[in-house]
Structure 1
Amino acid sequence: MEPAATPTVERAGSPKPVRPLAWLWGPAFVAAIAYVDPGNVAANLTAGARFGYLLVWVLVAANVMAMLVQYLSAKSGLVTGRSLPGLLGDRLPRGRRIAYWAQAEAVALATDLAEVLGGAIALKILFGIPLVWGGLIVGVVSMLILAVQTRSGQRPFELTVMGLLLVITIGFSAGLFVSDVSWPETANGLVPRFDGSESVLLAASMLGATVMPHAIYVHSALARDRHGHRPDELPRILQATRWDVGLSMLVAGAVNIAMLLLAAASLQGIAGTDSIEGAHAAITDALGPAFGVLFGIGLLASGLASTSVGCYAGATIMNGLLRIKVPLVVRRAVTLVPALAILAAGVNPTTALVFSQVFLSLGIPFALIPLVRITSDRTLMGRHVNGRLLQVTAWVVIALVIALNLALVGLTVLGWG
């Protein structure tokens, strides 16, 4: 909402309005949708139902990582005036650029798969709509959301997505207030540890669902497109961006932790809760139909919002690396096909969701390593280059992600332990 009176500042001899910092927020809240998508729901509910409070620490650590990487992504777009895929496209030779696009596009497709599946499950929960038809409905509605961005610009798109984020927060957090959560066990869950290969698989799934590669790619474009490349106002915009990222990631992290705690308190030990539909049924039985409906509405909002943002991210990746610009609605129609095919094939949707998040986890280093290298390059970033402490922290984050992925491959593919 516009303030009643707007202060002015002199620039180049003429007064210009200076909007409050909160007016500059928005891009990070759009990117934050990626952190509360249906893949998160599947991973967090499964982790809480099977292992209780054991993996709370994974969500806390992943959310701290998310704050760092999303700020670096936004900063790269604001300082250079280019998206992260665009910066990479400018620097990679053609063969490597196409190969890099292929893995990034696979990540975007895995993301889209999770989001359409989640929305389809929500429509089945709420209205009994078959999964294939539900997936088609999610795809069509997401086209309408993308049309808001195409026709009305980024700010209305941001407000639409932020409204859906509010619905998601209420839908996934409401049940927590009537659940018998063990806060001592929650505190104990902050101690990093695993319990067998399945817990490592779920931890990687939770990490992939929280620190998402496509969110890293798209945030640089969202920040650039919203604020432009204005060196004279850059310090103020970066200040606003830090708040934007901090608050949006705090909301997303709280929602994720609420989901895990809800599952740990209400679903642990109950048969059938290893699927979203089973978890919804258990929540309805344990907490009442109203909370079951709220959960379903939150899941539907999550699917609709996240598939729209995922499509935006895929278009950003293709434009930056291949220099091909495809209308968002056309891309939405094409990428909907694989998700509908999986639904039609009868694959367990929750299992597909969890494994899609594991795949995303494997794609994180391919987004993080270039991001840290670019934001640590003084020739590109000038005085906004990463400081020494920030560089060290970022490389430690990358090392931890790679270590978890290696453990995942070793335990689940090579049969270690």
Structure 2
Amino acid sequence: MKRIFAVALGILTAIGGFLDIGDLVTNAVVGSRFGMGLAWVVPVGVVGICLYAQMAGRVAAVSGRATFEIIRERLGPRVGAANLSASFFINLMTVTAEIGGVALALQLATDVGPLLWVPVAAFAVWVVIWRVKFSIMENVTGLLGLCLIVFAVAVFALQPHWSTLAHQALAPVIPQSESAATYWYFAIALFGAAMTPYEVFFFSSGAREEHWTTKDLSTSRLNVLIGFPLGGILSLAIAACATLVLLPAQIEVTSLSEITMPVVMAGGKLALAFVIIGVVAATFGAALETTLSSGYTLAQFFGWAWGKFRRPAEAARFHTVMLVTVLACAAVLFTGIDPILVTEYSVVFSAIALPLTYLPILIVANDPEYMGRHVNGRAVNVAGSIYLVIILVASLAAIPLMIVTGAGQ
């Protein structure tokens, strides 16, 4: 049983990273517009985040310090500040979207307007971060998020022509109604969503919250190899549901109700209940991750005391940053901004920030001063270098494609 719960950090990180409110919608949008033609992006992203999350977890377990602390020390304050600025801005966007996503999911369950749920969601995030132990937080949120497996069940219940889905995924074709620029814009968005920077910062800091050492390297690998691929599988299931139901009917995805439509068709109200629980858990888990990541990055950069294992009085600035973050993001939502739109933009901006995040991790994971005999092997370095090229290309292409396509319109 202890080993089962050991993967909870990876499950929470994967669900929060792959299946936050923006990714739920983006995968459904992609399925409703391109079918399974962009399915190949998901495994590319999964392999990339597994590769670098494993490095970040190993750095934390071996060195006894979170990745962001070492980046600032190893590469200097300028590189650390650039990394901090980009990641903190994206975190703020994502916290805003996730709190709004929880409100949208609760609206789906109660038919009460989302603005009335925003203060409830924000207060719940703050209370959990302030009072609930890290282990309880990750176990409960991560396991409840597994209710989203109902999307995978729905794919089977809809009885698709598997050969057609496989052909779309393995031999992708750009539909005549879509441009090549739009196709590649959504490819970068999906890739950025899979490798969002806060995932590795949260995973690394979470390892320190749980006091991992070199004895826990196998647990780190288990978290990575189960959690992130699971998130990828559920992403593909959401896209497949949209492909089977929304694409033939030419239904445009603009809200959570369209996302749940294939599941309701396959399993009725019981399936809808599972979806709502899963979406609330996933978006709430992502809100916790990104709020914590905001505190982690600032505290680690400036050398403050940090960690949920410390009482607020012992890490006052760390907890203050998170409280201010939650309040600020909730205030933004009261302007009436669409949380789904915020997250869709945030994943593209994440792609821009990827080189600032992953190059330092690769450098630190190869530094014997911190890693000793646990530095990267040759195969990991080759794979990491290949992914850095992909990351750089995605980063350079993101803004031009956003402008040309009108953010995928």
TM-score, normalised via structure 2 length: 0.86
The answer to whether residue 248 in structure 2 is matched with residue 248 in structure 1 is no
Establish whether residue 386 from structure 1 lines up as the match of residue 376 from structure 2. Answer: yes
Indicate how the Cα distance of structure 1 residues 127 and 174 shifts in structure 2: closer, same or farther if over 3 A, else same.
farther
Root-mean-square deviation (CA, aligned residues, Å) is 2.6
Of 27, 42, 45, which aligns to 1:59? Answer: 42
- Distance between the aligned counterparts of 2:334 and 2:10, measured in 1? 34
Which piece of structure 1 moves more, 46-55 or 305-314?
305-314
CA distance, structure 1, for counterparts of residue 227 and residue 96 of structure 2: 24
Instruction: Work out which of the residue numbers 332, 337, 345 in structure 1 matches 2:335.
Output: 345
In 2, distance between residues paired with 1:144 and 1:169?
28
Report the CA distance between 1:279 and its aligned residue. Answer: 1.1
Q: Which runs of 5+ in 1 are unaligned?
A: 3-20
- Which aligned runs of 4 or more in structure 1 are off by greater than 6 angstroms? none
Asked if 1:225 corresponds to 2:209, the answer is: yes
Deviations 1:369-398 (A, max 9, x none): 111111012222111111122111011112
Decide whether the 8 Å contact of 2:352 with 2:395 is kept in 1.
Answer: yes
The total of aligned residue pairs comes to: 389
Match for 2:358 among 357, 360, 368?
A: 368
Q: CA deviation at 1:155?
A: 2.4
Residues 118-176 of structure 1: CA deviation (Å, up to 9, x unaligned) = 21211121112222222222212222322354xx3x32233223322323434x43432
8 Å contact from structure 2 (residues 29, 252) kept in 1: yes
Cα distance in 2 for residues equivalent to 1:365 and 1:181? 39
If you compute each CA radius of gyration, which structure gives the higher value, 1 or 2?
A: 1
| Runs of at least 5 residues in structure 2 that lack an aligned partner in the other structure | 306-315
SS at match of 2:349: helix
In the other structure, the counterpart of 1:169 is 149
CA distance in 1, matches of 2:156, 2:321: 40
Distance 1:414 1:313, change over 3 A: same
2:87 is aligned to 104
**Which residue of structure 1 aligns with residue 138 of structure 2?**
158
Q: 1:271, CA displacement in angstroms?
A: 4.9
Question: Quick one: distance in 1 between partners of 2:206 and 2:173?
Answer: 36
Q: Distance in 2 between matches of 1:397 and 1:73?
A: 15
Distance 1:62 1:191, change over 3 A: farther
Q: Paired residue for 1:132?
A: 115
Shift of residue 45, structure 1, vs aligned partner: 0.7
Letter of the structure 2 residue corresponding to residue 147 of structure 1: W
| Structure 1 residues 266 and 180: CA distance shift in structure 2, 3 A | farther
Contact 2:84 2:301 in 1 (8 A): yes
Confirm whether residue 268 of structure 1 aligns to residue 247 of structure 2: yes
Query: Do structure 1's residue 205 and structure 2's residue 189 form an aligned pair?
Result: yes
Which residue identity does 1:29 align to in structure 2? I
Residue 378 of structure 2 aligns with an amino acid whose one-letter code is R
Equivalent residue for 2:283, pick from 303, 307, 313: 303
* Residues 275 and 351 in structure 1, CA contact (< 8 A), matched pair in contact too: no
The one-letter code matched in structure 2 to 1:31 is: T
- Pick from 390, 393, 396 the counterpart of residue 386 of structure 2: 396
Q: Does 1:28 align with 2:10?
A: yes
